[in-house]
Amino acid sequence: MSTGIYLAHLNPVTNAHVEIIRDLLKEDDQIVVMPVRFLKQDQEINSKSFPFTFDVRKKMLESVFGDEITISSNYTFFAPFKKYFPPLIAPKSWKLRKQILSEIDSDYYTYTGDKAEGIMLKLYRLNPKVGTRRKVSATSVKNDMYDAVTSKKSEWEKNVPKQVADIIKENWHEVEKFASSDDKTMRIAGMKFPTEGYNSK
């Protein structure tokens, strides 16, 4: 039996994420979903690109899948994030690989819908399976949510499961908080990182 590891932002969980996880469950009994976390001095960094905390995203996943999947916090970057670069050379990047696999005790593969990420996962010997990108992206759902705050017409709810929409509404203050702020992220090696904590602890 092999374990499928899904490394993703999941911020928020969308219908596309649910489709991917359902497809993975058809192939394997054991699916471990790892929503990424960025920590600075043990505090999670949230921003316009990452409005929901790990705990809220975990709740979203549990509302849809119950105990069908395992949710792990092992995909965590610790500030300063620049210490993970350059990939393959920085010792901290290999420490992250070890962290991701620390509770995996069978054959495994990682899943991504991103070709560039697939290359990176291959370089780290994480046995990637690269799927096709789905139509609905978490970024477009977030943008639709931010539009809803400024009372523009928005259909964000149709792109997330109903249970997830309810959790988003419970945490709507987070959406309101980031709606008018600048997006404080940077893209490195195909992945978004918060600018806060990139250079400092």
Q: What is the pLDDT of residues 24-83, one digit of tens each?
A: 999 988 999 999 999 999 999 999 999 999 999 999 999 999 999 999 999 999 999 999
Q: Is 80 exceeded by the pLDDT of residue 115?
A: yes
Q: Is 90 exceeded by the pLDDT of residue 189?
A: no
Q: What is the pLDDT of residues 146-167, one digit of tens each?
A: 999 987 778 999 999 999 999 9
Q: Provide the pLDDT for residue 135.
A: 79
**Which range is least confidently modeled, 3-12, 18-27, 189-198?**
189-198
CA atoms of 38 and 50, how far apart (whole Å): 9
The phi, psi pair for 187, rounded to 5°, reads -105, 125
Q: What is the pLDDT of residues 96-112, one digit of tens each?
A: 999 999 999 999 999 98
pLDDT band of 114, cuts 50, 70, 90: confident
Q: Is 41 left (phi over 0), alpha (psi -120 to 50) or beta?
A: left
Q: Provide the pLDDT for residue 73.
A: 98
Instruction: For the full predicted model, state whether its pTM sits above 0.85.
Output: yes
Q: Provide the pLDDT for residue 190.
A: 76
Q: Decide the pairing of beta strands 37-40 and 185-188.
A: unpaired
Q: Provide the pLDDT for residue 63.
A: 98
Which residue type, as a one-letter code, is found at position 67?
Answer: D
CATH architecture of 2-194: 3-Layer(aba) Sandwich (3.40)
pLDDT band of 120, cuts 50, 70, 90: confident
What's the mean per-residue pLDDT of the chain?
93
What sign for the dihedral angle of Cα 177, 169, 159, 132? Answer: positive
